[in-house]
Structure 1
Amino acid sequence: MKITDYLKEKLYLILAALLVVSLTTLFLAVSKVTQDQIVFIDVMFLLFVMLILFVEYQRRHFFYRDLKETLDALDKKYLITEILEEPQFMDGRILYECLSEVDKSMIDEISVYRRAQQEYKEYVEMWVHEVKTPLASANLILDNHPSATSTPLKEELKKVERFVEQALFYAKSNTVEKDYNINKLTLSKPVHAVVKKHAASFIYRHITLTLDNLEQTVYADGKWLEFILDQIIVNALKYCDDHGTITISANKEEQQVCLRISDNGCGISAADLPSIFEKGFTGSNGRSHEKSTGIGLYLCAKLCAKMYLGIRAESTPQQGTTMIITFPLGSHYQF
């Protein structure tokens, strides 16, 4: 609050004080009061008015300054009254009470949406677990009644299972810290589990798989890591041509282990590369190839961030793509 703005606001009070001084001076002069006494009375009155204005300015100045600084520093600005001290002047208390009511209303509104979100999340989790049963039954029927269409049908069922799993992980992604457990593991275990899951695609499309130096020890949640690897390997298979090559390798670099999943597919354009981890981004490859949701890599980046892992991509159009996951080796990651 600038003092000039404050004085402009109190101009009516200053003018009233000057009018009172003028009338008082006139009255005292008529009453035969000496000039020294008149000056003394006028000066004391004006000093008293100035003191009141100064004190009121200081109280408001400090309150509104703290209000502005606190508001600028807060991420969740609706919690302003939880930090701000209640002012000692009337209009400040009225403002404080109004802000408190607004905050309470906002918190109540957030609680409503939070409950709705939680109910939706629980429904999605229940739906995912329920839908797994008919999918497993369909796979069993195809195994027991083989035909020329069994293999393509099973491939389509695998896609459905993958999308169902993606929906489950997406529903849980905001509360991953409640559902993960960091353990010591070797990279070969989750990699082999995911590769085995897609073995039929590798064989059917004659894609060469190379695994190298995967006995590296890292700290991560095995279930979440398998999901991340599954999304990346599915993308590698999707954009890799038949008779192509996918290489999965690991190596230790300073205080981290780097896991690289490389393919010699169509690659990613330089314009698309910075955005591939954004939610809903499909890029030119997602539009020209099999329809993409733009959710898989977004979830990978989100889950990696939750587990303090790094993830990035390197790509050259028409030559291939390499996805790199980095695992820190510092002792503070060994939960």
Structure 2
Amino acid sequence: MNDLINELQLKIERLENEISFKNGLISILSHDSKEMFGNFLWLIEALEDKTINEEDFFNLLPQVKSDAKKNLQTIQDSTAWLKTQYGDFKIKPVKMLVIDLFHHFEEKYAAQLKEKNIKFYFKGDPNAFLTTDRLLIEYVLDRILNNAVKYSFSGQDIYLQEATEGDQIILSVIDCGTGMAEKYVSAIFSYDNPVFQGTSGEKGVGLSLKIVKNFVSLMHGNIEIISAENKGTTVSLFLRKLIE
């Protein structure tokens, strides 16, 4: 009887988390879209009504571009999440070397790393592997690395670190950037946490890490964030080396 009650409680908790996640996602999409298109419409109408001159109009375009990039990222994040929701989504395990994942992101982020003069290094066993869903693990590492680059200052290093403990593999993205206070770390996956600005003025979306946590759960893993203000952040994924 107790086992049945515990199972029901876990199902209820999982459903509540899913509902909270979906409601938060809808709220972010609605708010960000209204804000961006509202500002853009106001700008166009102001120019048409001649309540703003052309010089001021063009001066505001970089802000409009920044908002558009932020909203595009929100849509891309939402699309990635939607792929796991329609139909009968199942994990598709693929065996992959961790060092190959490192080289994939080293190439993908080459321009951004060069622009901010950031070095990206691998720590761990070059022969280490894991077997999991490629779409999920690449999305998760991509969003974590994106934040590491965003919140790192010029000349700082970022690491992808691998450690193996029994049948578990721990992948950590380590940066020495701005970090955050402990009170923010505990609320990072909620929908009322503050959105921070990157070291080059990049805007945070506020959605990516919530989807990251959802995807890590789909891979039957856990995520841990350790951060300190002005000392950097370490985001660690605890995954089984093999998912069947």
Matched, 1:263 2:203: no
Partners of 2:174 and 2:180 lie apart in 1 by: 12
Q: For residues 293 and 159 of structure 1, do their structure 2 counterparts lie closer, same or farther at Cα, with a shift above 3 Å needed? A: closer
Of 86, 105, 119, which residue of structure 2 is paired with 1:208? 119
Of 215, 218, 221, which residue of structure 2 is paired with 1:309? 221
Partners of 1:262 and 1:175 lie apart in 2 by: 34
SS at match of 1:305: helix
Q: For residues 181 and 260 of structure 1, do their structure 2 counterparts lie closer, same or farther at Cα, with a shift above 3 Å needed? A: same
Matched, 1:192 2:103: yes
Q: 5+ unaligned residues in a row in structure 1: which ranges?
A: 1-69, 77-116, 118-151
CA contact (8 A) 1:220 1:307 kept: yes
The count of residues paired between Structure 1 and Structure 2 equals: 184
Match of 2:129 in 1: 217
Q: Which has the larger radius of gyration?
A: 1
- Structure 2 counterparts to residues 1-335 of structure 1, below 5 A: 162-175=73-86, 178=89, 180-213=91-124, 214-278=126-190, 280-283=191-194, 285=196, 290-329=202-241, 333-335=242-244
TM-score, with structure 1 as normaliser: 0.48
CA offset at residue 233 of structure 1? 0.6
Q: For residues 188 and 282 of structure 1, do their structure 2 counterparts lie closer, same or farther at Cα, with a shift above 3 Å needed? A: farther
CA offset at residue 188 of structure 1? 1.9
Q: For residues 198 and 217 of structure 1, do their structure 2 counterparts lie closer, same or farther at Cα, with a shift above 3 Å needed? A: same
SS at match of 2:130: strand
CA offset at residue 179 of structure 1? 5.1
Q: For residues 271 and 292 of structure 1, do their structure 2 counterparts lie closer, same or farther at Cα, with a shift above 3 Å needed? A: same
Partners of 2:160 and 2:224 lie apart in 1 by: 15
Q: Which structure: greater helix fraction?
A: 1
CA contact (8 A) 1:312 1:323 kept: yes
Q: 5+ unaligned residues in a row in structure 2: which ranges?
A: 13-25, 27-61
Partners of 2:86 and 2:189 lie apart in 1 by: 19
Which amino acid counterpart does residue 81 of structure 2 have in structure 1? Y
Which amino acid counterpart does residue 120 of structure 2 have in structure 1? L
Q: For residues 281 and 198 of structure 1, do their structure 2 counterparts lie closer, same or farther at Cα, with a shift above 3 Å needed? A: farther
Partners of 1:191 and 1:206 lie apart in 2 by: 18
Partners of 1:186 and 1:247 lie apart in 2 by: 16
CA offset at residue 169 of structure 1? 1.1
CA contact (8 A) 2:195 2:205 kept: no
Which amino acid counterpart does residue 310 of structure 1 have in structure 2? N
Q: For residues 292 and 284 of structure 1, do their structure 2 counterparts lie closer, same or farther at Cα, with a shift above 3 Å needed? A: closer
RMSD, aligned α-carbons: 3.2
CA offset at residue 283 of structure 1? 2.5
Q: For residues 314 and 243 of structure 1, do their structure 2 counterparts lie closer, same or farther at Cα, with a shift above 3 Å needed? A: same
SS at match of 2:83: helix
CA contact (8 A) 1:176 1:303 kept: no
Partners of 2:106 and 2:140 lie apart in 1 by: 13
Q: Which structure: greater strand fraction?
A: 2
Which amino acid counterpart does residue 160 of structure 2 have in structure 1? I
Match of 2:36 in 1: none
CA contact (8 A) 1:313 1:323 kept: yes
1:174-222 Cα distance to aligned partner (Å, 9 max, x none): 3596154112221122232223111101111110111122431112111
Which amino acid counterpart does residue 189 of structure 1 have in structure 2? D
Higher relative contact order structure (alpha carbons within 8 Å, sequence separation ≥ 6) = 2
Which amino acid counterpart does residue 211 of structure 1 have in structure 2? F
